[in-house]
Structure formats: C-alpha cells, structure tokens
Structure 1
C-alpha cells in the first residue's frame, strides 16, 4: 500500500497559476490571507522572502520554489528590508521601469479541507526547494523548468498542462520534505520502517477489526513500545489515528461515490449504522446523511 498516494488522492488536489510577471524596481507580492495554499516559483532573478516569525529575510534565487501549505503570512519583495505596511502590494509591474527584473510564477494549491488529513496537518508553515544542485528528488529541477517553459511558450492546451504540472510540483515538494532530517511527525512516521508498515496496513484495510495488540504484531514490537513510538511520531494514539482516518475516508467515499450510509459504515469498519453516524457527526459536526446529500447535489450540479 502506497500510503502517500492514497492520502494525496483523498485531497482532491487541484492547482492553478494566477500570476506570471517580471518585476522591476521596487515591488512586493503578498498572497497570504486567502485561506488557500500558495506557491511561488522564482523563474529568474533574485529577491527576498519576509515572514513575521523570521528574524532575518530569506534570500531567493532563480529556480527556487516556495510553498505555503497553511497560508502563512509572508511577503516577497525586491528588498532585503521589511516592506512598510503602507507599501502597495500585488501591483502588476510597470513595463517602463528599467533595471534587472525578477520573474515570478505564483499559484494556488486547492484541496479538500473539510476532512482531517494527516499529511497536510504535518506540513510546516513554509517549504523551500533550492536550486542548489543537490536536490535528491528525481525530476525536481526538470519539472520546474518544464513548468516555466510551458507558461512562457503559451501554446494551445497550455492551461491544462500548467495546472497538471503544478499538481505534480506539490507532490514533489512533499517528497522533498519526506527526505528532510525531521525525526518526528507524520512524514517521519511514513519513513519509519515499523510504524510505516503499520500505517500501510491501516490504510490498506481500515475496516479490519484492528486493536493495539494486532497493530503491534504488524510492527513486530511489544504493545507498550509500539503505542509509545506511534504516538510519538504521529501525534495520535494508534486507535485515535485509525478512527480519524476511517472518518476521513468515509467523507471521501460520500464525495466520490454513490454508496449508501450503511455501505460506507461497513466499509469504515462499523457494524452499526447508528454508531457510525454518531462518530461521523462528532468529527464533522453534521451527519453522514447530510454529507451524502451535499455530495450528490455537487455531482448533479457538475453534470448539468
């Protein structure tokens, strides 16, 4: 079971580019506050990233990719000094301004935020992939150059290609983060040989009658050692994680299929529809019937 692929599929990820421009002189770009994940790709030139929680500005160079999964406050500008509060932001560049330019590509990553997702929750406020020549993620450098080329070429069908390349860009960014030195968190749990095996089994058969003892056997660990290690890495107890993932998967089944509440309850490991409905409402604040009805309405609207 490729846990990462399954979790990414439940995100219903969609990406889009909304800005491709060359800035000169004094300028500032700030896309925070949109309640959306954003990214910035420096196609050429050099600039600076400013974040309220960072004491020092972060220098950026051509081919650097910056991703904000949680809509963290930030400003990208020409200056290494913080931008004044009253300085105009997000203004289209004036072509008459001379001097060296900085070309930026900016876009959004949209995904399902209604249900809990351990992957998104585990991502940091900002992820930066540098053009340092040592990035170990296959095709990372080539992918960014392909995106830049597709945007600048403006060929027929480019919009769809650009959006799809941007989606792959997000996945590659997560792969890059998986190879970081972090030893705690969900991504570290995926990389852990024993806990990763347990997560794979949970995601492969979430409806199975799992217990801490059975999961510990999968990991090849004692009950106490497994429970402690799982909780340390994931931030949730094994059974709490299982429960939350079952509910997230159930929510996704309502969105992407036409199963009845009883069918989804069974697929989620519940023998009682009433118990399933109670657990579902506790996590989402509304019942499975309402979720199924809303999903059907969305599907019918999309098909009309």
Structure 2
C-alpha cells in the first residue's frame, strides 16, 4: 500500500549539513536564521527554551525532540534567560563536534544534540507546506537512537557516508512526524492521514495519480458526501482536494524531469494527463516555466544557471 508520508519525505531528499553536541551552563541565549532549512534538536539532559519566528517560547525537557521542517528565525535560551540587553551567547568549540554555551566554567545543566540539514528537491517549498510547521515530541526513545546514529555517522568519514546520512534523515523525519499523528496536529498531510476517512482518499491519490479523479470519486473513497468530504479535507490538510492532487502531480513531474529519464509525453501520462500539451499548460501555470525548460535548467550545475 502506498504511504503518502514516506513518499513526501523521500521526494524532499534531505541532506545533512552539520550535527553537533551542545552543553550549556548558567544563563545564555542564542539565535540563528536558517531560511527554509530543516532544524532538529534532542535534549539529552536538563532543559531549555525554544522560540520559532518570534512566537511564544516552549520549554524543552530531557527526552524532548523538536523538528522544524523549514526554520526561519530560531531563538533558544536557558530556562532562566539572561537579563534583557545581555549580548548573545557565542558557542565555544571544544573539539570533536562539541560546543559549550553560557558559563565556560563550573557544572553544566544542559546537554543536547542539534543538527541542520537541507532539502535537495526542486519542489521543497510545496512539499514542506504539507508538513507541520513545528514537531515537538516528548519521550520517544527511538528518536534519540536515530539522532545519535546521525551524529556518529556525521563525525566519521566512512565509505557511503552521504548515502547513510540521507537515509537516516529520512527515517528521522518520518519517525518524528508519525509520532505526532493525530487530529490535534496542525493542518497538513500528517493530520489528514490521522483521519481514517481522509487517509483512504489520500492514499488513493498517491497510489493512482493518473486516474481522472473528481471530488465526488474521492468522497466515495472516504465514504463521505461530496460536501462533507470537501470541507473535512480542506480543514485537515489545509488545501482543497483537487489543489492537493495537482500539487502532488506537479511534485512527481518535477522529480521525473529532474531525473531526465523520460520524455514530456510519457511524464504527462504518468501524472494523469491525456496529452503532452495539456500537461505543459498545467505545468507552466503551476511552476512558471514550461516543462522542457525546467528540465534543461535542472540539468545544469548551480554555476551554470
């Protein structure tokens, strides 16, 4: 059976940028801006505070894991932050990928692992929009194990390192996202899959993107009336059913064009269009440039574009 969540994460193509261990002592605060880059951290001991994009801070305790698929502005501090106006704390490298923040002497009161990655997908912004903005998981030992594996692999220069890291990051993201599955999750794919009625329709869209779906047919898959399905889907996933289907088809098409393994006519059929011309019109309207041009630009190296 098709797994939409796994498909989305796999298409994102996560790639590790760094992973480090952080120890803290006394009062400290630090901020960073990583526009669009995924950020994660795991608190091993102690506690701290985290604020994303200026919103109210949340308290992270030992065993807590946080994943932010598209971080913008992140601020972290000790539970009791420094007095207002105190200069931002600068991490001090201790070697072996470890950093110390706050007081540089005396007992520590925080240990955490933090990492930053990137998405290599050309459609990352769309795919990330289907995920929760912030994932906060408490007390899931499996996540701690995966994060430690990421950190260990990052430190070692062993063969196939990048392949292992990319797969570990996929597992980490899927594990974190499914740990938050529930009707109380923010609107997005995770919340939609938590709804038994909607999950069936979502899986069918991912399983058969070539089918000429209508809202009525999808509503039948969910055993709901057309109006009830439309309202329930839009509320849970955050977009209308046909808008989601179009986005998924375009994400698949972009991935195929990027791999440059099929012609435009074949890709059109594989994402549900009867003709290459109909597909080209839809793709151009959605992406902003024709599929052939998109494929050419994707085949160029960054220095050539």
The alignment's TM-score, normalised by the length of structure 1, stands at 0.80
Number of residue pairs matched by the alignment: 291
**Residues 147-296 of structure 1 mapped to structure 2, 5 A cutoff:** 147=150, 150=152, 157=158, 160=162, 164-179=167-182, 181-182=184-185, 185-296=188-299
Return the alpha-carbon distance in structure 1 between the equivalents of residues 186 and 50 of structure 2: 26
| 1:243 aligned counterpart, secondary structure | helix
Contact kept in structure 1, 2:39 and 2:68, CA below 8 Å: yes
Alignment equivalent of 2:55, drawn from 53, 56, 59: 53
Contact kept in structure 1, 2:253 and 2:271, CA below 8 Å: yes
Contact kept in structure 1, 2:130 and 2:189, CA below 8 Å: yes
The structure-2 alpha-carbon separation of the partners of 1:147 and 1:272, relative to structure 1 and needing over 3 Å to count, comes to: closer
- How big is the shift at 1:184? 5.0
RMSD: 3.2
| 1:157 aligned counterpart, secondary structure | coil
- How big is the shift at 1:108? 1.6
Return the alpha-carbon distance in structure 2 between the equivalents of residues 264 and 163 of structure 1: 26
Structure 1: 5+ residue runs without aligned partners?
Answer: none
- How big is the shift at 1:251? 0.7
Deviating 4+ runs (over 6 angstroms) = none
Structure 2: 5+ residue runs without aligned partners?
Answer: 93-99
Contact kept in structure 1, 2:17 and 2:116, CA below 8 Å: yes
| 1:32 aligned counterpart, secondary structure | strand
The structure-2 alpha-carbon separation of the partners of 1:239 and 1:21, relative to structure 1 and needing over 3 Å to count, comes to: closer
Is residue 15 from structure 1 mapped to residue 16 from structure 2 by the alignment?
yes
The alignment's TM-score, normalised by the length of structure 2, stands at 0.80
- How big is the shift at 1:183? 8.0
Q: Residue by residue, what CA displacement relative to the aligned partner does 1:57-102 show, whole Å, maximum 9, x if unpaired?
A: 4332333222222214332122423774662344323895223253
